[in-house]
C-alpha cells in the first residue's frame, strides 16, 4: 500500500491523513476494529491518505474501504489531531526498506501529518472486514483489551469513545444493532455497554419511552427463566426524524 502511494504521491494531499475508529457492538460486547502490519509490532486504526480529487468525507469512505473492504458504513467526523511531532520517525528506515522505497522518496511520508478522525458504530457480526493486504492482520478487539497502538492512535480512540458516549445524549442508537424485536432490558444493556456504567431501570424506561421511537408489541419474549418482558420494535420513521432533529437529554 505504501509503495503504491509513494509511486502516486502527487495524487494525494500532502500533510493530511484520515484515521477511522470503527466500533462494533453485538451481544453486549463493544469492540474496535484494529490492524497490524507486517513491519510494525504495534496495532493501528484503519487509516490512509487523501486523494486530491476527493472531498474529505468521500476520502474517509475510500480509506476505510481500501483498508478493511467495508462498504456502506456511515462515518462521522469527530476531531482533528495535529501535534507537531505526532508522526516523527514512524516511517523510519526499516519501513522504507520493507517496501523498497528509497530514503529520498520516503521523505513524503516523514513530513508532518495532521489526521482527521472519523468514527462509526456497527454490528460486528454484520460488518465483516476483508484484508486490504494479505500480510496484514485485521481483527475486532474488545475495547477494554486494546493492545499498544502506533503514534497517537490511543488518544484518537479515547476521543472517539468519548464522542460516542456524548452523542448518546444527542441521538438514539440501537437500530441495526439489536434484533428486530427486543426488550427494554436489552436496549438498556446496549446503552450501558457503550457508557460503561449502570443505568437506573425506571429512569431509562421513562426517558427512552418519552423519545417516542419505540413500538410496544403485543408479544413477550419467550424462553426466559423469569417473568417474560414485553417485546418492542423501533418505529423507523420516528427514529429517522429524531436522528435529524436530535435529542436534548442525558442518561
DSSP string, 229-240: PEEEEE-HHHHH
Query: In the predicted model, what is the mean pLDDT of residues 210-221?
Result: 93
- For the chain, state the CA radius of gyration: 21
CA–CA separation, 228 and 165 (whole Å): 30
Q: Are residues 18 and 141 in the same domain?
A: yes
pTM above 0.85, yes or no: yes
71 and 129 belong to one structural domain: yes
| Domain that residue 99 falls in | 2-167
Does 142 share its domain with 188? no
- The values of phi and psi at residue 237, to 5°, are -65, -45
Q: Considering Cα of 66, then 150, then 26, then 131, what sign does the dihedral take?
A: positive
**Is 37 within 8 Å of 136 (Cβ atoms)?**
yes
Say what the pLDDT of residue 92 is: 75
Query: What pLDDT does residue 148 have?
Result: 96
Q: How many other C-beta atoms are found inside a 10 Å radius of the C-beta of residue 243?
A: 15
Mean pLDDT of 3-29: 88
Least-confidence region, from 27-31, 36-40, 121-125, 157-161: 36-40
The answer to whether the CB of 32 falls within 8 A of the CB of 53 is: no
From 82-86, 100-104, 192-196, the region with the lowest mean pLDDT: 100-104
- Take residue 222 and report the three cell numbers written for it: 419467550
Are 225 and 137 in a shared domain? no
Which CATH number goes with the domain that contains 20? 3.90.79.10
Amino acid at each position: 500500500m505504501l509503495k503504491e502511494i509513494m509511486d502516486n504521491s502527487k495524487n494525494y494531499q500532502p500533510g493530511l491523513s484520515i484515521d477511522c475508529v470503527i466500533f462494533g457492538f453485538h451481544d453486549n460486547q463493544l469492540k474496535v476494529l484494529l490492524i497490524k502490519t507486517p513491519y510494525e509490532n504495534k496495532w493501528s486504526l484503519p487509516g490512509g491518505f487523501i486523494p486530491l480529487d476527493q472531498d474529505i468525507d468521500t476520502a474517509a469512505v475510500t480509506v476505510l474501504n481500501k483498508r478493511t473492504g467495508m462498504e456502506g458504513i456511515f462515518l462521522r467526523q469527530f476531531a482533528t489531531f495535529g501535534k507537531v511531532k505526532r508522526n516523527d520517525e514512524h516511517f523510519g528506515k526499516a519501513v522504507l526498506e520493507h517496501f523498497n522505497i528509497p530514503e529520498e522518496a520516503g521523505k513524503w511520508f516523514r513530513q508532518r501529518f495532521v489526521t482527521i478522525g472519523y468514527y462509526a458504530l456497527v454490528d460486528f457480526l454484520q460488518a465483516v472486514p476483508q484484508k486490504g493486504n494479505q500480510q496484514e492482520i485485521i481483527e475486532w478487539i474488545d475495547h477494554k483489551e486494546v493492545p499498544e497502538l502506533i503514534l497517537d492512535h490511543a488518544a484518537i480512540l479515547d476521543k472517539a469513545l468519548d464522542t460516542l458516549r456524548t452523542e448518546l445524549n444527542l441521538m438514539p442508537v440501537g437500530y441495526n444493532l439489536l434484533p428486530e424485536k427486543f426488550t427494554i432490558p436489552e436496549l438498556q444493556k446496549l446503552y450501558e455497554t457503550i457508557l460503561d456504567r449502570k443505568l437506573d431501570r425506571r429512569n431509562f424506561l421513562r426517558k427512552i419511552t418519552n423519545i417516542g421511537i419505540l413500538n410496544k408489541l403485543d408479544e413477550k419474549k419467550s424462553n426466559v427463566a423469569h417473568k417474560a418482558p414485553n417485546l418492542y420494535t423501533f418505529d423507523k420513521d420516528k427514529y429517522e426524524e429524531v436522528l435529524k432533529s436530535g435529542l436534548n437529554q442525558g442518561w
